[in-house]
Chain A
Amino acid sequence: MSTLALNPGPDPGSPTVVEPVSLRAVGRRFGSQEVLRNLTLSVRSGETLVVIGESGCGKSVTLKLMISLLDATSGEVCWEGHDVAGLSRTERDRHRLRFGYLFQNSALFDSFDVFENVAYGLRESADRSEAEIRAVVVERLEEVGLDAGICSKKPAELSGGMRKRVALARALALEPAVMLYDEPTTGLDPVMTGVINRLICQVRGRRSVTSVVVTHDLSTVRAVADRVVMLEPVSRLAPDEPQAIFSGTVAEAFASNDSRVAAFMQGGDASWEREVG
């Protein structure tokens, strides 16, 4: 059990299961550019939710809103039912430790070696002895299939797949209750994509974490998803249309009658097909 969990989380058997993260009518703008509009999305405890959609539809922004790395321009982002906007900065920082985040390009600290990267959150979050930190780092690296021998290597000396796994070990070091994966397989070869997909499933199996995966990769959708949500770019939405145009199982996504969902799931480009068709 996580020693850092600030809240043990809801009992799945309890009649009122609180959603770990939910977005209610959320909007987000960057200057004059509207990326999210009226997005409502709930992540159920223990599930693996996969968010798909075209580039620029706001998938990564959605993840950053979930962990409060960005603030919503409108609407509410809730952690276990509580509006994040109502939390102080210190409370946000503390509660953010419930989340693990695998960044799209790994975001390993260039100036630190692998050991210091994985140990970073451990050193910052609580007083631990060096022996405790070392034990956790080695355990997490082994969990993602890496040998402790790479501890002294710098991120620049690692392959893309290894960097992803080190970043995953770093995210798991604090034993998060919710894992957020931003394009976990982008830029990886099919073999390494399979490895990362298996790791996502393993993490969920071993730790019962709630996971949100943002991806374009259909193999990842098939391998890890309990539920799929598809976002449509704001520029293509009708005035009152919700931004999450589909929510359902993987099978339902592949069988969807919505031409936009069908085009994405068949590997086509929805906009191109619409323009041509």
Chain B
Amino acid sequence: MSTVSVSRPTFSPIHRLGALVLDWVESVGDFSLFAIGVLGQLVSGRPRRRVLLETMYVVGVGSIPVVVVTGVFIGMVLAVQGYDSFHHLGMETRIGSVINVSLVKELGPVLAATMLAGRVGSAMAAELGTMRVTEQIDAIRALGANPVGQLVVPRFLACFLLIPVLTIVADTVGIVGGWLFSTQALDVNSHFYWAHSRAFVTAFDVATGLIKSVFFGGAIALVACYHGFHCRAGAKGVGRAATVSFVVSFVAILALDFFLGLLLNTSYRLAYPQLPSLL
């Protein structure tokens, strides 16, 4: 004998589309409120020093090996792919400028952010998801503490502050990898390789990459923590939170990369109209 009044489910494509849109709008609203809550806690609270340092160690030191390995290979891949075109034009020594500009403006920050999203972001989502499922987040609230301040703020700060460092590491090892491969394997003259690189890579290029990376780091931490906090029950829910966190973070990285690149280049052209476009 059931007396619960449950509305009859409807399955028409219009209903499904409407439900999807409503879900999406609700998620965007939830995420915005979550991000505002994190920023509020950043202003009003101070994370525990020990927790912050532990998180920074995991995010920063723990990510260095994977960033170094991938950075070296990216530098070498750029050399391999670019060499033939430049060789055809008799401009092999110019390859250094292309490798280095690509690395400091785009590939270094995006690579470091992708590694962070895969290695740290997914782990954060899974860890917080497990805490949600096992009621540890409720326990924090029951003990009078704010779980956002306790769990999200240290992770946000660690990602936000350390991703520029990881980006510098990725840039550096990528540049070294590209130079080594170009000069040792492809027989490009080292002196002219660096001379052309110096002429093309500006301080603004490096700054562009670092500015982008800060936004990437903040986005990764917010997305990962949001999905951890809103994890569904069970092992499947935790796994889904980790996967969705990485996918959304990666899309966010690429979208931010595009819009920030556009914004920064436009600003550069407005500030220095006499200089050639950076695009």
Contacts and interface: CB of A to CB of B under 8 A. Distances in A.
B145 A120 contact: yes
A104 interface: yes
A96 B2 contact: no
A93 interface: yes
Interface stretch (A44-52, A236-244, A249-257): A236-244
B144 A174 contact: yes
A107 interface: yes
User: B130, B139, B146 — which one has the most chain A CB atoms within 10 A of its CB?
Assistant: B139
A64 interface: yes
A10 B77 CA distance: 75
Contacts of B12: none
Give chain A's interface residue range (CB within 8 Å of chain B).
20 to 34
Interface in A85-108: 93-94, 96-97, 99-101, 103-105, 107-108
B4 A235 contact: yes
A125 B144 CA distance: 7
B135 A174 contact: no
B143 A121 contact: yes
A67 B140 CA distance: 13
A11 interface: no
A109 B3 contact: no
Contact of B142 (A32, A101, A237): A101
Interface string B118-146: 00000000000011001110111111111
A124 B144 contact: yes
A103 B138 contact: yes
A108 B142 CA distance: 12
A124 B143 CA distance: 8
Given A69-B141, A96-B141, A105 B135 contact: yes
A32 B6 contact: yes
A195 B142 CA distance: 24
Interface of A: 32, 34, 64, 67, 69, 93-94, 96-97, 99-101, 103-105, 107-110, 120-121, 124-125, 170-171, 174, 234-239
